[in-house]
Structure 1
């Protein structure tokens, strides 16, 4: 089943090389589509008002202890994660660049135009949907093989190092990050916990669905 996936599958529109800066249209389309879903899911989680993603909790927790904004901390975390790529032998590609741009745009658009549900059950449902969207979107853009985003690259590198299933590696990362953020004072809600425990299986599900759909 999808929870046992250990490798990023390759399909007919996957790039042959992750450092291809002139991909075919279908590869570029699915890269952007996956990242758009990812960013929309992140934005919906914030809009649901049930808690932010673990990495945002970490940024908030650090910002409460230093004189820097959450946005600045988020950027510094991305840089720090990219530095961790070096011993894991991960390299940035087009997907790494578009990851930062498209996800940021989608989050801003979502926050601006999508209202927060007034009913708590609807807020919780929106949070669940958002986590699934982030996972499936992440799976799609990873399969494009144009370079992973900072956090996904760390996930892939650690998977290769440990040979643990992707779902286990991603869940461990998210739970560790949110724990540190919470300890530092970051706000944790039910949506945060849903993201921390659900994102690993959802990314694996996204990889599985893409592999089966385009096999």
Structure 2
């Protein structure tokens, strides 16, 4: 991506790369905002992001909240990292926990509005906020999220493209989510179309340059900038 210098470092190298005074707050602001964006779309009730279709389906069958479903699935996905030999970082573990907690906290403050115009506003606001949150989280360069690591790990091990693997994963989780009764709709389609361009728009402004020494020792070649989770 033009103007963006993302690197793929191991957990210790991520922390040794410097500028933690900016990178850590940006990481957590991004993760909290990501959880809030999920809650906005959930209260809009016009369709969720692909993985959240699955999460909303799970809560119909398990006595948990949608935020707890996010956390649960994050750790399930992390188990799949083991055969792929992906190594989690601070951002990975933080993603697995913070997004779900933030979603539940935001949902506790919001009710589903009756007016369609307000529901559309929540849906659009959730998508926009998710794009910004994605740029903040990825730009902090402290490790990819559980779902991103599954995507890039599968792409590396199978030799398939990021686009193909991501599409396959998201189609699969949407289908499973729908079978479980998850929330799919206009928001799901708009999210799929908008999240990539929105992230690309904001990522250059929020990508934090790391030290030259850290950039010289990536653990794997840095993948194209994926959607986080």
Q: Quick check: TM above 0.5?
A: yes
Offset, 1:35? 1.1
Q: 1:44 aligns with which of 40, 43, 48?
A: 40
- Provide Cα deviations, 1:81-115, integer angstroms capped at 9, x if missing partner: 11222343321111122213322232123212234
Q: 2:107 aligns with which of 104, 111, 116?
A: 111
Aligned to 1:69: 63
1:79-90 pair list within 5 angstroms? 79-90=75-86
| Alignment of 1:131 onto 2:140 | no
Aligned to 2:51: 55
| Alignment of 1:182 onto 2:178 | yes
Structure 2 length-normalised TM: 0.70
Offset, 1:48? 1.4
* Whole-angstrom distance in 1 between the partners of 2:57 and 2:148: 21
- Provide Cα deviations, 1:15-72, integer angstroms capped at 9, x if missing partner: 96543457621111111121122112111111212233322322344565xx633556
Q: 2:139 aligns with which of 136, 143, 150?
A: 143
Distance 1:209 1:178, change over 3 A: farther
Structure 2 gap segments, 5+ residues each: 211-229
Offset, 1:208? 4.1
Aligned to 1:34: 30
Structure 1 gap segments, 5+ residues each: none
What stretches of structure 1 move > 6 A for 4+ residues in a row? none
- Provide Cα deviations, 1:118-158, integer angstroms capped at 9, x if missing partner: 32133123212212221321222122221222112223334
Structure 1 length-normalised TM: 0.73
